[in-house]
């Protein structure tokens, strides 16, 4: 463990991000009925349509969904990283006891980097191509924490080492395009973690990487999280990514959460047919060769004019009349397990081992 | 230009819609578009019909309106330094200026377009030679080049006829546009020549000439149309510049020589310079706007392919 | 390395173009219809003295030699600093002195107008991009568009008259060397520099805005924002540099264009630069002098373009590495 400064004056041996504060609430984030809509020439696109979730300190929430489900928008909405114009947002976002939804830009910027941070999908495009690595890391340190050049450099070196970059002195002076994809992603993580945030959003952190590197990065994220007692929201379309690495999972479809449960329980008792379809579509090693991949037929609905009934009805193999007419609400039967379906699958009908997910 | 490594990712397309980007140009014509068309159309009509319109003689001097500002009885736009009717002169001037610029650009299109087409289609040594030719022509600033050409060929002695001056002027301006139009045509022809339907025509036994004319040219044409419109605007201004420098047409009225002649009266009668200046301004504005609209419309079509 | 080879190729192309351009200008005088000597010495006197003078001139200009010989002689003279003469009734007047006086003046005008244009265009472009779609942006864009439609001589005339004469704020013509009187020098260069800069501002502003709007949508800008740094910092320290490539290219190319394209402005404001020299040489039918000026201009232009190309790689490290890799 190295010495890092921290605004609240942490002790010398504490890891970055560990703050001693008098009130240490368990609940870090509480989102209520968040809605984000974009004004486009084609109409008002409701990318996030009434999402509520909570996240406790140090825990990991996985948000899973296909393209266009609104998961990335959700992450950015909570953070507040949306375009300035043609965006309508409503709902409550309570972070560490304070409502941050209505914050003005300056105060939100104060939170970014120091409390909330984001790791983006493609490290090639997310790092400034004409700025050296070192500068990109130290910028946050110098801006938020007012460090001088010497200390920020030392911190940056330590950060690079902690994310597993060899020869950090050399890397500091290089440009992003001189490094491999995996290294770039590590650096992006270092940049995000520089000022010790307590909540990290990882938006598809491994999608742009080789399969071999993916596991490394996910492990890195997990270890950083443990060291810093950081909460994490892991956004991905890949159920395999969230399977062993999250505490809770929320499945999103067409702007809404359609199933939510602790990870340990989700795979054992899937209720929502969409989740089942997602699980089925994961190819496994022990499938017989030549068996076609099970894609979900059809396409997600148009978010500018969503259908009246259940949004998944058009593609659901179990759909009935009621599904097409009335939109099901999110209900919770076992504590912690919520789903949005009129005719949920029965527990045990789909078993995790049967589809090869551990 | 920029080599940009992109690792292909089977990932979510951009979720956030782009912020409102382009304010202009739009593909729709809009108010400005229609104004531009009306202005240019009206101007062309007036210029063409000048001889039969009920206009005063542009060279006739009327002593009573010398340097008188617009709205005079019988002379709507007043008189110039010698007492000639401004309204008539500005319309006859339009005739001259438009003739010069449009001819120059058409000539430049013909020569430059052809050369560019050949260069882009055949590639290889021919392309290299033509590109070098373009670069050489482009290495002398346009005004200086046209100025020199006109000076050498049409001003070397006092006895040069106005007809010859006109011809040389048009030729000089055309020569200046050749490399620009040539380059653009070449780039477009290069791109289009790679397409399958060109190869298909080749395989069917069509001659090079036929392919260039029937397959490549129709696709290249829209791209250079917009440049041609802008080119006419530039040529109009160039004519003005050359007139101011003393090497334009002299006997007949043109917008350029109206400004050149009116310069000495700028203090007393600014309208003499102002009127042709406004005419040039509106025409150039209209041409620029339409050029942009044409480019926007056809750029999109190309991008969609 | 790939980079050296790439630059080497371009250098060869440069030499080729220089050769052809100078060939063209060197032979310009031969293109004059009629006997060039008669044009230069338009004396109708057919006395033996005059005839001898004309013979001498003919010999001096190598007019009896073949084309290649003439070109070789011209290049030889040029490289040795012999730039020909003005042929006046008072005698031969070497061009070299005039060139030495005129060239720095044009350079000054070009530098001032470029600096002015960039100083105005860069902030306008950045703000327009930041506020893309707002009233400010639309207004700025429309103004730029309209400004581009105003011919520079009209603007020059208007400025010279209204600011120079009517308001009397600044002198409308004339030139004072910097060494003589710095203040007057600046005062007299303001109007011509503004005239030249006006069109550049419009072009640069739109270029920068367009590139910047693209850049602002890139992921790394979102990333920079998410670090919590101020919007100003994101704009100026993150977004500006990657967006400035086209602008710098065009500005660089303009350096060459402006040296020659300022002819009109120089003439209007009586600035004794290269442009005025050219206009004067044409007026006086001094084609030998004209040859020299055009050649000098062309050479400068080609060299500047080459330099811009080389500079390209310095601005964007990606290009440097891409070229080296290829």
Cβ neighbours of residue B193 closer than 8 Å, sequence gap 6 or more: B120, B121, B123, B216
Taking a C-beta distance cutoff of 8 angstroms, is the pair A195, A141 a contact?
A: yes
Model pLDDT, residue A78: 92
- Using CA atoms of B134, B140, B145, B147 in order, give the dihedral in degrees to the nearest 10: 160
User: Which chain A residues have a beta carbon less than 8 Å from that of C316?
Assistant: 130
Residue C176 in this model has a pLDDT that exceeds 90: no
CB contact under 8 A, C229 and A139: yes
Q: How far apart are CA A308 and CA A324, in angstroms?
A: 7
Instruction: State yes or no: pLDDT of B46 exceeds 70.
Output: yes
- In a 3-state reduction of DSSP, which class is residue A81? coil
Distance between CA atoms of residues A79 and A73, nearest Å: 10
- Cis peptide upstream of residue B25 (ω within 30 degrees of 0): yes
Q: Determine contact: A70 vs chain B, CB below 8 A.
A: yes
Interface of B with A in 18-57 (CB under 8 A): 19-20
Higher pLDDT, C48 or C322: C48
- Provide the percentage of residues in chain A whose pLDDT is more than 90: 24
Average pLDDT over residues B197-205: 78
- The SS3 call for residue A94 is strand
pTM, two decimals, is 0.78
Q: Rounded to the nearest 5°, which phi and psi values hold at B289? A: -65, -45
Q: How far is A277 from chain C (nearest CA, A)?
A: 31
Residue C182: how many other CB atoms lie within 10 Å: 11
Whether the CB-CB separation of B241 and B263 falls below 8 Å is answered with no
CA B161 to chain centre: 25
Q: Give the per-residue pLDDT at A25.
A: 62
Q: Who's near A345: CB < 8 A, 6+ residues apart?
A: A270, A271, A272, A273, A276, A318
List of residues 6+ apart from A43 with CB closer than 8 A: A304, A305
pLDDT class of C45 with cuts at 50, 70, 90: low
pLDDT at A16: 42
Report, as an integer, the average pLDDT of C190-216.
91
Does residue B301 or residue A31 have the better pLDDT? A31
Read off the pLDDT band of A240 (50, 70, 90): confident
Minimal CA separation from A128 to chain C, in Å: 5
Instruction: For residue range A135-168, list pLDDT tens digits in order.
Output: 999 988 888 888 888 988 998 999 999 888 889 9
Contact status, residue A118 vs residue A197, Cβ threshold 8 Å: no
Neighbours of chain A (3+ CB pairs under 8 A): B, C
Contact A128 C224 (CB under 8 A): yes
Pairing of strands A338-339, C85-88: unpaired
User: Does B220 have pLDDT greater than 90?
Assistant: no
Question: Per-residue confidence at B91, pLDDT binned at 50, 70, 90?
Answer: very high
- Taking residues C48-53, report their average pLDDT: 73
**Does B35 contact C at CB distance below 8 Å?**
no
Contact: C154, B152; criterion CB under 8 Å: no
Q: Does A81 touch chain C (CB under 8 A)?
A: yes
pLDDT at residue C325 above 60? no
Q: Is the pLDDT of residue C9 over 50?
A: yes
| 3-class SS of residue A233 | strand
Using an 8 Å CB-CB cutoff, list chain B residues near A43.
none
Between CA B30 and CA A293 the distance in angstroms is 51
Stretch among B109-113, B170-174, B228-232, C89-93 having the lowest mean pLDDT? C89-93
Spatial distance between the Cα atoms of C323 and C1, rounded to a whole number of angstroms: 9
Q: Using CB atoms, which chains have 3+ pairs under 8 A with B?
A: A, C
Model confidence at C69: pLDDT above 90: no
Q: Is A143 on the interface with C (CB under 8 A)?
A: yes
Check whether A301 has a pLDDT greater than 80.
yes
The CA distance from B151 to B148, in Å, is 5
Q: Distance from C127 to chain A by nearest Cα, in Å?
A: 15
pLDDT the model gives residue C34: 67
Q: What was the pLDDT predicted at A122? A: 86
Which pLDDT score, from 0 to 100, does residue B20 have? 37
| Bridge partners, A98 (sequence order) | A95
Q: What confidence score (pLDDT) does residue B157 get?
A: 63
pLDDT interval class at C255 (50, 70, 90):
confident
CA dist list (Å): C268 to B245, C107, C174: 9, 17, 10
pLDDT tens digit string along A318-340?
888 888 888 888 888 877 888 88
Band (pLDDT 50/70/90 cuts) for residue A287 is low
Evaluate whether C198 touches C121 at the Cβ level (below 8 Å): no
Cβ contact A344:A271 at 8 Å: yes
Residue B53 predicted with pLDDT over 80: yes
Q: How many CB pairs under 8 A join A and C?
A: 81
C197 CB contacts (<8 Å, ≥6 apart)?
C113, C114, C116, C117, C120
Contact C302 B139 (CB under 8 A): yes
The answer to whether the Cβ–Cβ distance between A72 and B15 falls below 8 Å is yes
What pLDDT was estimated at residue B106?
94
State the DSSP string of C184-204: HHHHHHHHHHHHHHHHHHHHH
> Average pLDDT over chain A, rounded to whole?
83
Interface residue of B11, B19, B20 to substitute, partner A, most A CBs within 10 Å: B11
pLDDT at position C322, please?
54
Report the residue from B6, B11, B19 with minimal CB separation from A204: B11
HEC-encoded secondary structure of chain B = CCCCCCCCCCCCCCCCCCCCCCCCCCCCCHHHHHHHHHHHHHHHHHHHHHHHCCCCCCCCECHHHCCCCCCECCECCCECCCCEEHHHHHHHHHHHHHHHHHHHHHHHHHHHHHHHHHHHHHCHHHHHHHHHHHHHHHCCCHHHHHHHHHHHHHCCCCCCCHHHHHHHHHHHHHHHHHHHHHHHHHHHHHHHHCCHHHHHHHHCCCCHHHHHHHHHHHHHHHHHHHHHHHHHHHHHHHHHHHHHCCCCCCCCCCHHHHHHHHHHHCCCCCHHHHHHHHHHHHHHHHHHHHHHHHHHHHHHHHHHC
Q: Are A139 and C227 within 8 A, CB to CB?
A: yes
Q: What is the pLDDT of residues C227-239, one digit of tens each?
A: 888 889 899 989 9
CB contact under 8 A, C151 and B263: no
Segment A17-46, tens digit of pLDDT: 444 444 556 888 999 999 999 988 888 899
pLDDT of residue C43: 65
Kindly provide the residue ranges of all beta strands, DSSP E only, lying in chain C, ordered along the sequence.
85-88, 91-94
Query: Cβ–Cβ of C141/B23 closer than 8 Å?
Result: yes
In the predicted structure, residue C220 carries a pLDDT above the cut 60: yes
Taking residues A87-107, report their average pLDDT: 88
Q: What is the pLDDT of residue A268?
A: 81
Q: Quick one: average pLDDT of B49-78?
A: 83
Half-sphere exposure of A31 (CA within 13 A, CB side): 24
pLDDT number for residue A10: 36
d(CA A322, CA A357): 32
- Mean pLDDT value across residues C87-93: 71
Place of tokens 């993580």: A189
Tell me the per-residue pLDDT of A254-286, one tens digit each, with 9 for 90 and over: 999 999 999 888 888 888 888 888 888 777 666
Task: Give the E-state strand segments of A158-274 in sequence order.
Answer: 199-203, 231-236, 248-253, 256-262
Q: What does the alpha-carbon distance between residue B168 and residue B152 come to, in Å, rounded to a whole number? A: 10
Task: Give the pLDDT score at B22.
Answer: 40
Q: Which residue has the higher pLDDT, A60 or B16?
A: A60
B242, two tokens = 């050359």
> Residue B138 is encoded by which pair of tokens?
């482009």
Closest partner residue to A122 (CB to CB) among C219, C227, C242 is C219
Higher pLDDT, B46 or B303: B46
Confidence at residue A349, expressed as pLDDT on a 0 to 100 scale: 54
Which residues in B lie closer than 8 A to residue C294 (C-beta atoms)?
A: 140, 144, 148
Residue A145 has what pLDDT? 84
In which band, very low, low, confident or very high, does the pLDDT at B17 lie, cut at 50, 70 and 90?
very low
Contact status, residue B79 vs residue B89, Cβ threshold 8 Å:
no
Q: First CA to last CA across chain A, in angstroms?
A: 33
Report ipTM for this prediction.
Answer: 0.81
Report CB contact under 8 Å: B21, C213: yes
Among C47-51, C75-79, C141-145, C169-173, the minimum mean pLDDT is found in C47-51
Question: Using the beta-carbon criterion (under 8 Å), do A207 and B9 form an inter-chain contact?
Answer: yes
CA distances from C75 to A189, C81, C82, C83, C295 (A): 62, 10, 9, 10, 11
Q: pLDDT at position C26, please?
A: 74
Question: Torsion angle, CA of C182/C188/C189/C192, rounded to 10 degrees?
Answer: 180
Phi, psi of B14 (to 5 degrees): -50, 120
First vs last C-alpha separation in chain B: 21
Q: Which residues on neighbouring strands pair with residue A147, listed in sequence order?
A: none
Of the candidates A326, A325, A330, A320, the one whose C-alpha atom is nearest the C-alpha of residue A253 is A330
Q: For residues A330 and B276, what is the distance between their CA atoms, to the nearest angstrom? A: 73
Res B16: pLDDT: 37
Return the structure tokens found at A64. Answer: 């899973």
pLDDT at B21 over 50: no
CA distance C248 to C40: 43
Contact (Cβ atoms closer than 8 angstroms) between residue C161 and residue B270: yes
Comparing CA positions, the residue from C80, C101, C75, C91 lying closest to residue C40 is C91
> Residue A184 and residue A216: Cα distance in Å, rounded?
13
pLDDT of residue B294: 84
- Of B17-26, B30-39, B265-274, least confident by mean pLDDT is B17-26
Do strands A338-339 and A331-332 pair parallel, antiparallel, or not at all (unpaired)? antiparallel
Task: Please give, rounded to a whole number of angstroms, the shortest distance from the CA of B3 to a CA of chain A.
Answer: 10
Nearest to C171 by CA among C154, C155, C180, C183: C183
Determine, for residues B17 and A45 on separate chains, whether the beta-carbon distance falls below 8 Å: yes
Q: Is the pLDDT of residue B11 over 60?
A: no
How many other CB atoms sit within 10 Å of the CB of residue C48? 8
CB contact under 8 A, A177 and C318: yes
Lowest mean pLDDT among B210-224, B289-303, C184-198: B289-303
Res C314: pLDDT: 60
Q: Do A208 and B5 touch (CB under 8 A)?
A: no
Size of the A and B interface in Cβ pairs below 8 Å:
54
pLDDT of residue B121: 82
């Amino acid at each position: 463990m190295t010495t890092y400064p921290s605004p609240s004056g942490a002790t010398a041996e504490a890891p970055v991000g560990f703050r001693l504060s008098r009130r240490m609430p368990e609940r870090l984030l509480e989102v209520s009925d968040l809605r984000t809509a974009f004004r486009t020439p084609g109409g008002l696109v409701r990318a996030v349509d009434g999402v509520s979730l909570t996240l406790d300190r140090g825990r990991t929430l996985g948000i899973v969904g296909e393209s266009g489900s609104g998961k990335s928008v959700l992450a950015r909405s909570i953070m507040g990283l949306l375009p300035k114009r043609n965006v309508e947002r409503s709902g409550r976002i309570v972070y560490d006891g304070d409502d941050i939804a209505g914050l003005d830009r300056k105060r939100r910027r104060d939170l970014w980097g120091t409390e909330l941070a984001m790791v983006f999908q493609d490290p090639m495009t997310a790092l400034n191509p004409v700025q050296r690595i070192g500068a990109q890391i130290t910028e946050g340190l110098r801006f938020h924490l007012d460090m001088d050049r010497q200390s920020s450099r030392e911190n940056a070196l330590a950060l690079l080492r902690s994310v597993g970059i060899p020869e950090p002195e050399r890397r500091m002076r290089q440009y992003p395009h001189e490094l491999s994809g995996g290294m770039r992603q590590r650096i992006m993580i270092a940049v995000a973690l520089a000022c010790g945030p307590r909540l990290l959003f990882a938006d598809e952190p491994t999608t742009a990487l080789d399969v071999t590197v993916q596991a490394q990065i996910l492990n890195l994220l997990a270890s950083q999280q443990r060291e810093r007692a950081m909460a994490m929201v892991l956004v991905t379309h890949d159920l395999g990514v969230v399977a062993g690495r999250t505490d809770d999972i929320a499945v999103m479809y067409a702007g809404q959460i359609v199933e939510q449960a602790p990870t340990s329980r989700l795979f054992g008792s899937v209720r929502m047919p969409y989740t089942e379809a997602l699980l089925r579509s994961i190819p496994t090693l022990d499938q017989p060769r030549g068996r076609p991949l099970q894609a979900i037929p059809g396409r997600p609905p148009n978010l500018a004019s969503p259908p009246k009934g259940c949004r998944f009805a058009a593609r659901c193999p179990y759909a009935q009349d009621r599904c097409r007419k009335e939109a099901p609400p999110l209900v919770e039967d076992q504590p912690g397990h919520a789903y949005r379906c009129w005719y949920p699958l029965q527990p045990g009908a789909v078993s995790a081992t049967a589809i090869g997910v551990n | 230009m920029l080599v940009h490594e992109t690792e292909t990712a089977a990932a979510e397309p951009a979720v956030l819609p782009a912020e409102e980007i382009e304010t202009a140009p739009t593909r729709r014509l809009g108010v400005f578009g229609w104004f531009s068309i009306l202005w240019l159309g009206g101007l062309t009509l007036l210029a063409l019909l000048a001889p039969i319109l009920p206009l005063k003689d542009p060279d006739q001097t009327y002593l009573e309106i010398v340097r008188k500002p617009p709205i005079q009885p019988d002379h709507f736009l007043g008189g110039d330094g010698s007492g000639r009717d401004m309204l008539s002169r500005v319309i006859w001037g339009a005739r001259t200026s438009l003739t010069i610029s449009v001819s120059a650009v058409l000539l430049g299109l013909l020569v430059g377009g052809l050369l560019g087409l050949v260069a882009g289609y055949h590639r290889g040594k021919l392309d290299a030679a033509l590109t070098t030719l373009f670069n050489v022509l482009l290495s002398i600033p346009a005004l200086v080049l046209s100025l020199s050409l006109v000076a050498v060929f049409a001003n070397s002695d006092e006895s040069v006829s106005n007809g010859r001056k006109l011809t040389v002027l048009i030729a000089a301006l055309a020569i200046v546009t050749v490399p620009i139009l040539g380059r653009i045509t070449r780039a477009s022809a290069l791109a289009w020549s790679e397409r399958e339907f060109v190869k298909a025509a080749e395989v069917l036994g069509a001659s090079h000439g036929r392919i260039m004319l029937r397959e490549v040219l129709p696709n290249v044409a829209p791209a250079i149309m917009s440049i041609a419109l802008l080119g006419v605007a530039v040529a109009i201004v160039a004519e003005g510049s050359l007139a101011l420098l003393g090497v334009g047409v002299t006997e007949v009225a043109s917008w350029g020589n109206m400004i050149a002649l009116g310069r000495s009266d700028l203090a007393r009668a600014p309208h003499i310079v102002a009127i042709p200046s406004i005419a040039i301004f509106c025409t150039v504005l209209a041409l620029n706007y339409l050029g942009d609209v044409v480019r926007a419309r056809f750029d999109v079509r190309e991008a969609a392919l | 390395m790939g980079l050296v080879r790439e630059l080497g190729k371009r250098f060869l192309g440069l030499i080729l173009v220089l050769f052809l351009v100078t060939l063209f200008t060197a032979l310009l005088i031969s293109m004059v219809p009629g006997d060039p000597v008669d044009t230069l010495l338009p004396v109708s006197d057919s006395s033996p003295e005059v005839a001898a003078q004309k013979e001498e001139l003919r010999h001096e200009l190598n007019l009896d030699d073949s084309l290649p010989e003439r070109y070789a002689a011209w290049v030889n003279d040029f490289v040795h600093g012999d730039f020909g003469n003005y042929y006046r009734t008072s005698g031969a007047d070497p061009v070299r002195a005039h060139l030495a006086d005129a060239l720095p003046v044009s350079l000054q005008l070009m530098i001032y107008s470029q600096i002015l244009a960039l100083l105005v265009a860069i902030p306008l472009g950045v703000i327009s991009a930041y506020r893309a779609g707002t009233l400010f942006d639309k207004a700025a864009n429309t103004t730029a568009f309209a400004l581009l439609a105003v011919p520079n001589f009209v603007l020059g005339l208007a400025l010279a008259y209204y600011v120079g004469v009517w308001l009397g704020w600044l002198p409308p013509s004339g030139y004072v060397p910097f060494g003589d009187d710095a203040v007057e020098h600046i005062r007299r260069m303001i109007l011509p520099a503004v005239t030249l800069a006006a069109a550049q501002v419009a072009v640069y502003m739109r270029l920068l805005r367009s590139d910047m709007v693209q850049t602002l949508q890139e992921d790394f800008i979102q990333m920079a924002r998410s670090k919590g740094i101020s919007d100003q910092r994101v704009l100026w320290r993150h977004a500006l540099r990657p967006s400035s490539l086209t602008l710098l290219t065009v500005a660089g190319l303009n350096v060459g264009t402006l040296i020659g394209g300022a002819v009109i402005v120089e003439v209007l404001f009586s600035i004794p630069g290269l442009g005025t020299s050219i206009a004067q040489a044409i007026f006086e039918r001094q084609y030998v002098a004209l040859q020299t000026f055009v050649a000098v201009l062309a050479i400068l232009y080609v060299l500047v373009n080459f330099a811009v190309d080389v500079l390209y790689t310095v601005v964007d490290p990606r290009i440097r590495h891409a070229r080296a890799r290829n």
